[in-house]
């Protein structure tokens, strides 16, 4: 759980939430049926390496609002 140290954005006052910029690297496979429709792609993300961002950005105004590393 990443409980934020603030309840709303200090810049725009939005309480919409925040996001992190995650780094994703790798190669994956996207499955199709022969008629061109999407097939089962439940493992699409499992082949990728994730690195979660350490900075939280406001969903509304995109400004940096706090540092996730300082939350512990
Ligand atoms: Zn904001």
pLDDT digits (tens, 9 = 90+) for 21-69: 999 999 999 999 999 999 999 999 888 998 989 999 999 999 999 998 7
DSSP secondary structure string for all residues of the chain: ----SSSS-TTT---S-EEE--EEE------B-TTS-B---TTTTTTSEEE--SEEEETTT--EEEEGGGG-
- Model-level pTM? 0.70
> What pLDDT, on the 0 to 100 scale, is given for residue 1?
63
Q: How far is the centre of ligand 1, averaged over its atoms, from the C-alpha of 15 (Å)?
A: 8
Q: How far is the centre of ligand 1, averaged over its atoms, from the C-alpha of 59 (Å)?
A: 7
Contact 4, 67 (CB under 8 A): no
Q: How far is the centre of ligand 1, averaged over its atoms, from the C-alpha of 3 (Å)?
A: 17
For the chain, domain boundaries:
18-71
CA atoms within 13 A on the CB side of 41: 11
Contact 34, 44 (CB under 8 A): no
């Amino acid at each position: 759980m990443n409980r934020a140290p603030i309840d709303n954005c200090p810049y725009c006052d939005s309480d919409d939430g925040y996001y992190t910029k995650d780094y994703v690297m790798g190669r994956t496979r996207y499955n199709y049926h022969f008629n061109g429709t999407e097939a089962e792609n439940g493992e699409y993300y499992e082949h990728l390496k994730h690195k979660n961002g350490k900075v939280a950005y406001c969903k509304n105004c995109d400004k940096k609002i706090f540092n996730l590393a300082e939350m512990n």
